Structure 1
Amino acid sequence: MRVLACHLLNDYSGSPKVLKQLLKGWVKNNLEVHLFTCGGREGFLSNLAGVKYHNFWYAFTKNPYLRLVFLLVSQLLLMLKVLAKAQKDDIIYVNTVLPFGAAIAGKLRGIRVIYHIHETSIKPAILKKILFGIVDRTADQVVYVSNYLANEGLVSSVKSVVLHNAIEEDWYQEKKQKEKHHNQEKHVLMVCSLKAYKGVNEYIELARSCPDYVFSLVMNSSQNEIDTYFKSTDLPRNLRLFDTQTNLHPFYNQAHVVLNLSKPDGWVETFGLTIIEAMAYQLPAIIPPVGGITELVSDGINGYRVNSTNLKDLKEKLELLLENPSIYNLLSLQAEKKFEQFREGAFIKKSLQILAIPSAASFQMSESNSR
């Protein structure tokens, strides 16, 4: 069996990272895996052993009109590539709703199409309607990353299943080899895109209001982009800014708490991979009160749910964690327990069942690694 996986923009964000895990797991289980993605970029999908690459043209631009033109051109190219490559018994696996050219090709050829949907916050609204309309008309099955997404009802006529994201086993084994730092300074960490709706500005204000803590902000952006964004901002001295990082272990290792401050009126988090990574390090988290991310953190159990626009509440919850060792240790223990639900072994096994692979029970990851 062959899987033709399709993803638009290869970078270091969450959706290509999840696809990378799937591709590696499928290769280990002796599937023939082909990846269709844009060329000329480095990201999580680069240089994966055993994966056969088929690149097509796409260039990201900040101009929304030009970006739409580039998207349409890229999907025409992708559709033609998939039509030329696909065979009747293949499975076309579309990662996010953007590589819709592959889904149209699959529909034209009568090939099974599976969509893996990570989020639905797409603008403008007309583009969102068109993209999900294509999903509705071309998909044989939809995979959602959270129950929150599955319950949104954007694709109601297609069979669906929830596959929560998981931590890579190699990542977890690397984490186990690291001794946790016990810094006297109390460190707060947030990892996100450099977008206002991600709560970047609120994080800056929180750092300013809590001068006794060290705040680290890791952004999926270049240093030039960071300098431009903050050129008119008076940054607090206890704040450290970092550009794109391929290794987050040192940051989690020194952190005491991890934040996600996405603003519910601008961006609803559908999952939250960095929160799972934080839980692997026994770190409590403060997250938004809505979205799929709430399936990871129970308020007062392994973290807190706070609207990032409420600076007073944010500060109170952060101080409650960092100034009360008994509360912190209890939430830290619960974070570690919660993490066990998001191990890679079960994730890959369920993905094979979604693909309807008869050998799913023979998943090659060792029993010891999946515990």
Structure 2
Amino acid sequence: MICKDFAMRIIAIHLLNDYSGSPKVLMQLLKHWSEQQLEIQLYIGNPNKGFLSEIPKINYHYYGYSFARNPLVRFFKLFGSQFWLMLLLILRLKKGDIVYVNTVLPFGAAIAGWIRGCKVIYHLHETSVKPRLLKVFLFGVLKLTAIEIVYVSHFLAQQEPIAKKAHIIHNVLENDFMVQSQKNKNCHKANPVVLMICSLKPYKGIEVFWALAERNPKINFKLVLNATKGEVEAYYKGQKQPKNLILYTTQENTHPFYQEASIILNLSDTQLWVETFGLTILEGMCYGLPAIVPPVGGVVELVENGRNGYLIDSKNIDLISEKLNELISDKALYKKMSDNARAKSGHFSEANFKRKAMLLVSS
């Protein structure tokens, strides 16, 4: 344990708090660091409810960013908020601080840390940043300012090689999550449910999921979207929803969905978005759910084709549909893949994550 009079502060920065993967990983880091009596200042765009809300022993600051659907408005909001964040931190940072930038988006914090001579660490979650010019700018700031980089997968480290001190820290499952999942003994269900949890974005394959439901009327499909009721209704306005498809808005507690599901999917369009890890897939595997995921990206570090799921491009709807029906109809195959999925998820526990987390701030 680090003693309470240790002078170092961690200044953690994130853009948009919600219930997606990147704020969840930062939450896990902050909880562990706070348990070690480190002083943590957290800067996020605004007090939206999400994984970063109400973490004990954390000092919160907000710098006025809010998401906008219009790309041009969103661009100006991003750059305006980062300019303001940069000015705030230039005035507040101390040279001994660690500036921990979660995702490439809060670039203002990285510039401020670089100007003040702080140790800047980036936690890199993404490679698919559009438009291309924005990616060039954001990764240019990263290369200029970062002292160390944390990658969420080996794939991402290979995809975005940067000449800095690098760490691979896979996303992991919290102990509480694993304990709760162990109470659920997954089995071949009489009324199978195919589950997908993702953002309300076309590149996440939500239209493919809809099409799979239409093709397989005897199978139940559940789509949990990180969006409000109004956003979901506006997106699907005028479309005839299949009777076997249920849409859900943002969920704070996803355990009930994993408990009743049979199979979990990730259908991201690899031409538009490459998954760098796949936390919902890992969570589903912990519940013994076989997974069908794209054949590229960080998700292939979780799913072994034919062992605990299948690697299939989301454009190949025929093959995905075939494998879904095969898993549902073959009890022996399902049990083998379910057992293998649960066993694989056990490799992503908190113990190693915590050890690496402390190395980041003590080296």
Same fold (TM over 0.5): yes
Report the Cα offset of residue 179 of structure 1. 6.1
Q: Percent identity?
A: 47
Match of 1:135 among 131, 142, 146: 142
Q: Which residue of 1 aligns with 2:208?
A: 202
**CA displacement at 1:63 relative to structure 2:** 1.3
Matching residue within 189, 212, 224 for 1:218: 224
Distance in 1 (alpha carbons) for counterparts of 2:311 and 2:276: 15
CA shift, 1:182, in A, is 7.0
Given the alignment of the two structures, is residue 101 of structure 1 paired with residue 101 of structure 2, yes or no?
A: no
Question: Are 1:38 and 2:45 matched, yes or no?
Answer: yes
TM-score between both structures, scaled by the size of structure 1: 0.93
SS of alignment partner, residue 309 of structure 1: coil
Q: Structure 1 unaligned runs (5+)?
A: 358-371
For residue 333 of structure 1, what is the aligned residue in structure 2? 339
Structure 2 length as normaliser, TM-score?
0.95
Which ranges in structure 2 are unaligned for 5 or more consecutive residues? Answer: 1-7
Secondary structure of the structure 2 residue equivalent to 1:167? coil
| 1:158 matched residue in structure 2 | 164
Does 1:63 find its partner at 2:70? yes
Deviates more, 1:256-265 or 1:174-183: 174-183
After superposition, the C-alpha distances for 1:11-64 in whole angstroms (9 at most, x for unaligned) are: 111110110010001111121111011223111111100111111111211111
Alignment of 1:169 onto 2:175? yes
Q: Could you tell me whether the CA contact under 8 Å between 1:288 and 1:306 is conserved in 2?
A: yes
Structure 2 counterparts to residues 277-292 of structure 1, below 5 A: 277-292=283-298
Are the counterparts in 2 of residues 181 and 253 from structure 1 also a CA contact under 8 Å?
no
Q: CA deviation at 1:244?
A: 0.5
The one of 24, 27, 46 aligned to 1:20: 27
Matched residues in 2 for 1:299 and 1:351: separation? 31
In structure 1, the residue matched to 2:154 is 147
Amino acid at match of 1:285: A
Q: Structure 1, residues 47-93: CA drift from partner, whole Å, max 9, x if none?
A: 10011111111121111111111111111111122222221211110
**1:257–1:283 Cα contact (<8 Å) kept:** yes
Q: How does 1:355-366 map to 2 (within 5 A)?
A: 355-356=361-362
CA contact (8 A) 1:181 1:254 kept: no
Task: Indicate the RMSD between aligned Cα atoms, in angstroms.
Answer: 1.4
SS in 1 for 2:61: strand
Distance in structure 2 (CA, Å) of the matches to 1:325 and 1:202: 26
In structure 2, what is the equivalent of residue 363 of structure 1?
A: none
Task: Tell me the residue number matched to 2:120.
Answer: 113
In structure 2, give the amino acid aligned to 1:212.
K
| Aligned counterparts of 1:338 and 1:173: Cα–Cα separation in 2 | 15
132-141 or 162-171, which deviates more? 162-171
CA distance in 2, matches of 1:122, 1:12: 20
Superposed CA deviations along residues 115-155 of structure 1, whole A, max 9, x for unmatched, are 001011111100100000000000001101011110013x5
1:5–1:33: 8 Å Cα contact kept in structure 2? Answer: yes
Match of 1:244? 250
- Tell me how far apart the structure 2 counterparts of residues 204 and 63 of structure 1 sit (CA, whole Å): 25
Contact 2:227 2:249 in 1 (8 A): yes
Q: For 1:92-114, what per-residue CA distance to the aligned partner results, in whole angstroms no more than 9, with x for missing partners? A: 10000011111111111111000
How many residues are matched?
356
